[in-house]
Amino acid sequence: MKRPLIVGVMGGGKASPEDADAAYRLGQLIANQGWVLLNGGRSAGIMEASAKGAQEQGGLTVGILPDDNYDMASAYVTIPVLTGMGSARNSINVLSSHVVVACPGGSGTISEIALGLKNNRPVILMNFDIGKIFENYRKQGVLHYEKTPEDVIEKIKKLRQIKE
């Protein structure tokens, strides 16, 4: 059996309504492609929204939780992976993703962008302005900027050379 593409969706535990809507739509589109959505697993912000979008479309959702129990896990995560290791799990989030999409977020999300780039994972920022700190990675073609969920899907197809 061919393994499905795993798309990591990172982003804040707190999200504006617009960002949550976009993450929800991104989750839907990922599921519609038959891809797996992987995120940080909690029932909050971008994590909850993206998992909800994917699972409602019948997609498989994997949540890599910082916790050692299910108390804070999103109900929309099919497979909760309990790491019990707090922020150290951020490294697993990005290593396990073929492509990382970062929605707006705070220091946790930025740590995931940084760890993704460090480990040579392609990272797509969706409507998320983080200034010029990773400009060298953009020039190398590892870091990308897109505005909408639809654009992100197209970019993933290009990066993975997926034909319609």
Question: Which spans of this chain sit near its own copies (rule: CB under 8 A)?
Answer: 1, 3-4, 6, 36, 55, 60, 62, 64, 68, 75-92, 95-96, 106-108, 110-111, 114-115, 117-119, 130-134, 136-137
How many Cα atoms sit within 13 Å of 22 on the Cβ side? 24
| 43, 75 contact by CB (below 8 A) | yes
Residue length of the chain: 164
Distance (Å, whole) CA 131 – CA 123: 15
For its own copies, which is the closer residue by CB, 17 or 58?
58
Minimum Å distance from CB 85 to its own copies?
3
For its own copies, which is the closer residue by CB, 111 or 154?
111
User: Hey, which residues does 79 pair with through a beta bridge?
Assistant: 62
For its own copies, which is the closer residue by CB, 5 or 154?
5
- Assign 3-state DSSP to the chain and report helix, strand, coil percentages, each to 5: 40, 20, 40
For its own copies, which is the closer residue by CB, 43 or 154?
43
Minimum Å distance from CB 162 to its own copies?
18
